[in-house]
Amino acid sequence: MEYSDYIVYVDESGDHGLVNIDKQYPIFVLAFCIFKKSDYLKTVQDFQEFKFNHFGHDIVILHENEIRKDKGVFKVLNNLEKKSSFIKKLSDVVNQQKFAVISTTIKKDELKKHYRYDNNPYHIALKFCIEHLFNFLIASNQQKKITHIVVEQRGKTEDRALEREFSKICSKGNFKDI
């Protein structure tokens, strides 16, 4: 089997729980960032350069929550001028990159109100994103090639559940059956 020209990185925002919904952030978001591998090489280089310029190394993970709340290595951004400059430069790097995004946003209170079965926001979002990724790959003539999907770890239990759901979705063989 041949490898696809694309690689996909997956991350979420918010939690997928429906028991105690945070009134300040009552949504769950899942995003697939799709990079053409040849473009991704430039992306990695650009972000490494950004990190070297700001931290002296490239080990830093750019988590939005930590940046916004000046946590960890981002404590140095605790004044408005420094933070504004950092955010502008980071935004410039992001804006220069070539990638596609497929995302799903779920209002958890609405989901809880209207759906009783299979109402895990992560699973619903995953199905939607995979379906649209498949359409993207068809449009790019990559559907018969292996496309790697990289998902950030969340915890052993959550990772196993996600792997089962991913396998269940993919075993259907045709996204129209999902």
Domains, the chain, in order of start with CATH, read: 3-177 (3.30.420)
Q: Does residue 173 carry a pLDDT above 70? A: no
**In contact, 125 and 30? CB cutoff 8 Å:** yes
Report phi then psi at 82, rounded to 5: -65, -45
Report phi then psi at 170, rounded to 5: -70, -30
Q: What is the average pLDDT value for the chain, to the nearest integer?
A: 90
CA–CA separation, 51 vs 62, rounded Å?
9
pLDDT in tens, 101-157: 999 999 998 888 887 666 788 889 999 999 999 999 999 999 999 999 999 877 888
Q: Does residue 177 carry a pLDDT above 50? A: no
Lowest mean pLDDT among 1-5, 39-43, 72-76, 114-118: 114-118
CA–CA separation, 159 vs 155, rounded Å?
6
Q: What is the pTM of this model?
A: 0.85
